[in-house]
Structure 1
Amino acid sequence: MGNISSYQNNKRSAIVKLPEFNEIESEQERQEELMDFYLSTCPDSIDRTHMYHFLRAYIFQSNFSSPVEDKLIEGGCKVLDIGCGAGTWLLDLSHKYGNSSFFGIDIKPVFPQEIKPKNLEFIKADITNGLSFRDNEFDFTHVENMSLIFTPDEWDFVLSELVRVTKPGGYIEVAGRRNSYVGEGPVYHKLSHAVLSSCSKRNVNTDLMYKLDSRLELLPNIEKVHRIEKDFIIGPNGGKIGIVFQDLSYSYYVSDMAVKYLSEEIGISEEEYKNMIENELIEEFKQTNAECVHVRFWAQKQLS
């Protein structure tokens, strides 16, 4: 398993082995384009983020699983969300728990800049460069839906930073989705495999999300790591939840950036890709029982 030291060493080794300048430029451009794909700031992507937040809250019947609600209600609780995106999770919580304070970090400022609760602050920053907060500053730290973004070494660094800034007795929670499916049809398998393949080219192991509890429990000052899973069937065979997730998936796969990058990854033309999505995907969902699994891990930082 990687750690902070290996993460920093990997950064240094990447600087030593330099290809020709034109190769650097083209590779950098390619990586930036791919990251724009996975960190899209277009209105449709933000709308999907909002809808997906409420879907996850519904299947878990809560916005978090750590036992921190009493503290949030009491007030004075300080909460940090990493990779907050449009800030939906924080906006929801900050409205509900007005006596506590909330902070969101993201590399792209798609979060609200002005119209937001007074107890909520957003900061543009890259977590992989380290957090600017002091040790033991937050009562509750949280990261969700970053399985397509962080490499294994980055995950180790992010988790260690979350533990560092969490107060003794506070909680760290990590949440996401298993990125492989059971029972999917050939079209959905082809699409999801294309996403995973593009991630692997950035050294992102999408399967790691499902196993992060084992990495979290190896960090110092961590009590028992708890785990909860919720699953449903994608499409009409999964009822209302399945249909909502089907619609979210369809909206994602027909977006301009998905058409561009996933058609290339699959090795077909954009026109062939569009025909596959528009004419086959929804019909396939009616005939299959693709299982989608969401997971949360949480642990308390040891009291010193």
Structure 2
Amino acid sequence: MGNIKSHLKHKRPSIKKIPEFDQIESDKERNEKLIDYYLSTSIDSIDRLHIYHFLRAYIFQSRFSSPVEDKLIEGGCKVLDVGCGAATWLLDLSNKYENSYFYGVDIKPIYPQEIKPNNLEFIEADVTNRLSFHDNEFDFTHLENMSFVFTPDQWDFILSELVRVTKPGGYIEISDRRNGYIGEGPIFRKLTDAIWSTYSKRNIDVKLVYKLDSKFELQPNIGKVHRIEKDLIIGPNGDKIGLVFQDLTFSYHKSELSIKVLSEEMGISEEEYKNMVENLVEEFKQTSTESVHVRFWTQKQLSE
């Protein structure tokens, strides 16, 4: 897995403090503040993204599932990562495939500002406003962990953009995690139910990832959509990888923003919320909670 606890040394913007929701004057402002929660730029949040990248690579035994490695090695391959975040995936690939070219787009510039490979470029942009690339520009277009960010209507547009900027014969891949668990205990279920509730208030369909392949197939010039799933057990019953995911879970739930937002969502005090999270340690020992990770990939076909 590599050194998953190492830090990438670059400037990180500090996170903005979220005001009390009842003081926010409009739905638009509320949504903007909730986006700060979902797309946190705190150091701990960025570190979780780095670790999560290596965890996914471990359980899939690869950084991607599309059959593009030969082209990446050959060189001249253009790769786009939409919603690149802290850019761990791009940094990993651009260092390995030095003769190919990589581009990352994100609404928040938490990617490295200065130290990065010469074959890697970042662009600050909102994908929901259309990508600033020509049609048929990329050999491999990639997006991951965005199921909790976009509404169903936005997904329709984003999928069309992924298809538009990909070359005929090129590949498109979406990687995510099923927003639900199997065999979870009562404490973890209450916590995750609160998370799903905050999503639904932003018109996020938490089950969309279950049907993303069929949504993808509605796009023009798309071949067969392949689905690959891998699961892990959270906690000590899932061996070392389960403990890594447990640590990620605790780190997320113990963050200041999670404490504030989720305790408020559950209608309990912050102290009660913290006690629930602490009790997860024992619950994970007694359960075998499964977390399912999924990848979809397809090839863009020649226009008819």
Following superposition, the deviation at residue 161 of structure 1 comes to 0.1
How many angstroms apart in 2 are the aligned matches of 1:29 and 1:301?
Answer: 38
The aligned counterpart of 1:296 is 295
Following superposition, the deviation at residue 210 of structure 1 comes to 2.2
Q: Secondary structure at the match of 2:99?
A: coil
The aligned counterpart of 1:261 is 261
Letter in 1 for 2:91: L
Letter in 2 for 1:253: H
Contact 2:38 2:149 survives alignment (8 Å):
yes
What CA deviation, in whole Å up to 9, does each residue of 1:222-262 have, x standing for no partner? 01111100001111111111110000000000000000000
Following superposition, the deviation at residue 26 of structure 1 comes to 3.3
The aligned counterpart of 1:100 is 100
How many angstroms apart in 1 are the aligned matches of 2:29 and 2:269?
Answer: 22
Following superposition, the deviation at residue 275 of structure 1 comes to 1.4
Letter in 1 for 2:84: C
Letter in 2 for 1:85: G
Letter in 1 for 2:96: K
Is the aligned partner of 1:77 residue 2:100? Answer: no
Query: 1:238-253, aligned counterparts within 5 Å?
Result: 238-253=238-253
Following superposition, the deviation at residue 207 of structure 1 comes to 1.0
Runs of 4+ with deviation above 2 angstroms:
22-29
Contact 1:82 1:106 survives alignment (8 Å):
yes
How many angstroms apart in 1 are the aligned matches of 2:201 and 2:35?
Answer: 12
Contact 1:145 1:176 survives alignment (8 Å):
yes
Q: Secondary structure at the match of 2:195?
A: helix
Contact 1:177 1:210 survives alignment (8 Å):
no
Query: 1:46-195, aligned counterparts within 5 Å?
Result: 46-195=46-195
Q: Secondary structure at the match of 1:31?
A: helix
Following superposition, the deviation at residue 27 of structure 1 comes to 2.2
Following superposition, the deviation at residue 282 of structure 1 comes to 1.1
Following superposition, the deviation at residue 23 of structure 1 comes to 9.7
Query: 1:28-47, aligned counterparts within 5 Å?
Result: 28-47=28-47
TM-score, length of structure 1 as denominator length: 0.91
What CA deviation, in whole Å up to 9, does each residue of 1:163-197 have, x standing for no partner? 00000000000110001111000111011111110
How many angstroms apart in 1 are the aligned matches of 2:156 and 2:28?
Answer: 24
Following superposition, the deviation at residue 28 of structure 1 comes to 2.5
The aligned counterpart of 1:285 is 284
The aligned counterpart of 1:10 is none
| Overall identity of the aligned pairs, in % | 73
Following superposition, the deviation at residue 211 of structure 1 comes to 1.5
Is the aligned partner of 1:235 residue 2:227? Answer: no
Letter in 2 for 1:292: S
How many angstroms apart in 2 are the aligned matches of 1:301 and 1:40?
Answer: 33
Letter in 1 for 2:300: K
Query: 1:193-208, aligned counterparts within 5 Å?
Result: 193-208=193-208
What CA deviation, in whole Å up to 9, does each residue of 1:255-286 have, x standing for no partner? 000000000111101111111112x1111000
The aligned counterpart of 1:18 is none
How many angstroms apart in 2 are the aligned matches of 1:40 and 1:24?
Answer: 19
Following superposition, the deviation at residue 103 of structure 1 comes to 0.4
Q: Secondary structure at the match of 2:225?
A: strand
Q: Secondary structure at the match of 1:244?
A: helix
Following superposition, the deviation at residue 32 of structure 1 comes to 1.5
How many angstroms apart in 1 are the aligned matches of 2:132 and 2:47?
Answer: 30
May I ask how many residue pairs the two structures share in their alignment? Answer: 282
How many angstroms apart in 2 are the aligned matches of 1:266 and 1:174?
Answer: 31
How many angstroms apart in 2 are the aligned matches of 1:80 and 1:28?
Answer: 30
- Whose helix proportion is higher, 1 or 2? 1
How many angstroms apart in 2 are the aligned matches of 1:27 and 1:268?
Answer: 24
Letter in 2 for 1:281: L
TM-score, length of structure 2 as denominator length: 0.91
Following superposition, the deviation at residue 206 of structure 1 comes to 1.4
Contact 1:263 1:273 survives alignment (8 Å):
yes
Q: Secondary structure at the match of 1:109?
A: coil
Letter in 2 for 1:66: S
Letter in 2 for 1:117: P
Q: Secondary structure at the match of 2:90?
A: helix
